[in-house]
Chains A and B, each alone.
Chain A
Amino acid sequence: DAGVIQSPRHEVTEMGQEVTLRCKPISGHNSLFWYRQTMMRGLELLIYFNNNVPIDDSGMPEDRFSAKMPNASFSTLKIQPSEPRDSAVYFCASSLGFTGGGNYGYTFGSGTRLTVV
């Protein structure tokens, strides 16, 4: 398996533009997570999907942020309109989830470094 695949690796955009980040989880994983990492706040959970359904989006900072998972192999995180304070590294992670025998851990993608100027 190629692991969790994120695109693009780097994104530079102007304030006010729409940004779409993409993620392909590991095949067979039923949980998908979007995290944001900044120097100030560290890693923050934005949203969590289980079996393609959003379960907890309480970490989404504002209505400008939205995430979708139309099928088990693809998810997007969209920021519209983008602002300079959105600059961060955005990670996607997937997991087998809780199976009754314990969580099998998380696998992270390489991240998308977003710069909003």
Chain B
Amino acid sequence: KQEVTQIPAALSVPEGENLVLNCSFTDSAIYNLQWFRQDPGKGLTSLLLIQSSQREQTSGRLNASLDKSSGRSTLYIAASQPGDSATYLCAEPRDDKIIFGKGTRLHILP
């Protein structure tokens, strides 16, 4: 059974700090990895999609990496802001389903 794991489940960081969210997966043949953000009571917003031929993707203050050999992905957030507070979900999108981790609840302390 393919799984996606995110540790820690929750994280609090002072505003302005850089931080890294971790994701691990068991599928050694992973095609792609996608990071989502979910605000309380809201939907899922796609942040970054890393395709198998890529090692990382960047969008603004966000940088996501994919290391297939170690089964890991990281989401780096630079200069964190209170508005970054949300749950961040790592997921493996397949053709017939998307396998989600349980997410990391991030709280940026003002």
Partner of B43, one of A48, A98, A104, A110: A110
Least distance between B105 CB and chain A CB atoms (Å): 12
What residues on A are CB-neighbors of B94 within 8 Å? 98, 103
Least distance between B96 CB and chain A CB atoms (Å): 6
Main secondary structure of the interface of A (DSSP, over half): strand
B41 within 8 A of A: yes
CA A98 – CA B51 in complex, angstroms?
12
B95–A103 CB distance below 8 A: yes
- Number of residues from B at the complex interface, CB < 8 A: 24
What residues on B are CB-neighbors of A50 within 8 Å? 96
Q: Nearest CB to that of B97 among chain A residues?
A: A45
What residues on B are CB-neighbors of A31 within 8 Å? 95
Q: Nearest CB to that of A48 among chain B residues?
A: B96
Q: Nearest CB to that of B35 among chain A residues?
A: A105
A sample of 20 inter-chain contacts (CB < 8 A) reads: A33-B97, A42-B103, A43-B100, A45-B97, A45-B98, A48-B97, A50-B96, A95-B93, A95-B95, A97-B95, A103-B32, A103-B95, A105-B46, A105-B93, A106-B34, A106-B93, A108-B44, A108-B45, A108-B46, A111-B43
Q: Give A contacts to B, CB under 8 Å.
A: 31, 33, 42-43, 45, 48, 50, 55-56, 91, 93, 95, 97-98, 102-111, 113
Q: Give B contacts to A, CB under 8 Å.
A: 31-32, 34, 36, 41-46, 49, 51-53, 91, 93-98, 100, 102-103
